[in-house]
Amino acid sequence: MLSPDAQVCVDGTDSPEFDGWQWVSYWYPLGQVVSFKREVYRRALRELAPRLFYNMEQWHRAEQNRRLQEHQK
């Protein structure tokens, strides 16, 4: 992200999807989202990951963290 955190606006519509935001680990949202949206989030995160992580080592660490979080549920 290139702008200051204060410029993030999550209430730009009449019925916003989110009521707040925070910096978290990449896979963290999977454990927080309502169950019926979880698979959509999982697919989106997997598809975006190669574009967001600039090297495979970083991607593998994120994937290991995701597996750990799933195992801890």
pLDDT at 10 over 80: yes
| Burial of 32: CB neighbours in 10 Å, binned 0-12, 13-18, 19+ | exposed
The count of domains in the chain is 1
Report the amino acid identity of residue 48.
Answer: L
State the pLDDT at residue 67.
Answer: 81
Domain that holds residue 65: 5-71
Q: Model's pTM, two decimal places?
A: 0.58
State the pLDDT at residue 73.
Answer: 63
